[in-house]
Amino acid sequence: MIDKRKNVVFDDTPRQCPKCGGKYVFQGAGRYVCENCGNEVYDDFGKVRAYVDEHGPSPGIVIAEATGVSINKINKFLRQGRMEIPDGSGEYIPCERCGEPIRYGRFCPACAAYLTKNLSAVLTSADIGEKPKRAMQGKMHTEAFLRKDERR
């Protein structure tokens, strides 16, 4: 859904240039350029990235105040692995399982290994499909849709 007052979708992706009405084209790293007039804008990730590129690593609260991007959104970028806290910083984000400090992501390596192991224990052989040995080419074959015990 588009917020007409700001010409952005609620996910903060700019769509239409307020200067000329042209369409914004994504350039990478949260940067968008109008295809008609060249007007340049940034989404929230682009604002944070531009700030860090210009000023170097800074505490989240400083970045939030300087860019207008909420601290929650900055934490979301860290959780998604789109940004990371430099080694040697005084503050880190906690692992969602054990609370151990991590630089980015959701889980520390130990918890990720634990969760991966436990997830594989939950899966049964019926949950895991078999990859075809050869892919069918051309027309659809009804045999492909028969259960194993119906094939002869």
pLDDT, residue 8, reads: 41
CA 137, 142, 148, 151 dihedral sign is: negative
Which one, of 106, 87, 86, lies nearest residue 98 by Cα? 106
What's the confidence (pLDDT) of residue 109? 93
Select from 2, 29, 1, 32 the least CA-distant residue to 17.
Answer: 32
User: At a CB cut-off of 8 Å and minimum separation 6, what does 59 contact?
Assistant: 91
Q: Can you read off the two tokens belonging to residue 19? A: 């200067």
pLDDT means per 10 residues, the chain with 152 residues, are: 45 86 91 93 94 92 95 93 88 92 93 86 68 60 51 48
Q: What is the pLDDT of residue 53?
A: 93
pLDDT of res. 78: 93
Spatial distance between the Cα atoms of 140 and 101, rounded to a whole number of angstroms:
53
